[in-house]
Structure 1
Amino acid sequence: MNCDVVLARKRIFVPGSWVRLTERMNDPYTPLEKGLTGTVRYVDDIGTVHINWENGSPLGAVLEDKIELI
């Protein structure tokens, strides 16, 4: 993992920020659909954005997942 990418994600997705999933996650077993919103808990050292989603899921968003600040 590129340290610059991780540091950028930590600056962008600060704890308490609201985010929206802009595309369905590429995982057939996830309950997370496009448009779902949640609150950022933290970004870990590999760049995963850990989020408390409005549907109750605590699933993290990896680099391939498309999220945006709202």
Structure 2
Amino acid sequence: MTFPNREIVERVRRDYPAGTRVELVRMEDVQAPPMGTLGTVEGVDDTASLLMNWDNGSHLNVIYGVDAVRKIE
């Protein structure tokens, strides 16, 4: 896995501040919530992964460059 540079991490932090609502589009993990699950971003770590609180109770993070979500406006 290649880690994103500082500029990417800062961009993700600007685009997904804590409290942002998202919908899961794709997650490559056997324990992933079902596609379409809604959740709230709790923060962004130093690898640009979204720290999540999914509405179904899961806290599985969204991995930058692997998983995908879309913002709920």
Provide, for residues 8-50 of structure 1, a one-character-per-residue CA deviation record: whole Å limited to 9, x for no partner. Answer: 1100110011011112x1112x141210010110001111100
Give the drift of 1:3: 1.3
Amino acid at match of 2:53: N
TM-score (norm: length of structure 2): 0.85
**Residue from 21, 24, 37 that aligns with 2:24:** 21
CA contact (8 A) 2:24 2:38 kept: yes
What is the CA RMSD across the aligned residues, in angstroms?
1.0
Q: Which residue of 1 aligns with 2:14?
A: 11
| Structure 1, unaligned runs of 5 or more | none
Runs of 4+ in 1 over 4 A off after TM superposition: none
TM-score (norm: length of structure 1): 0.88
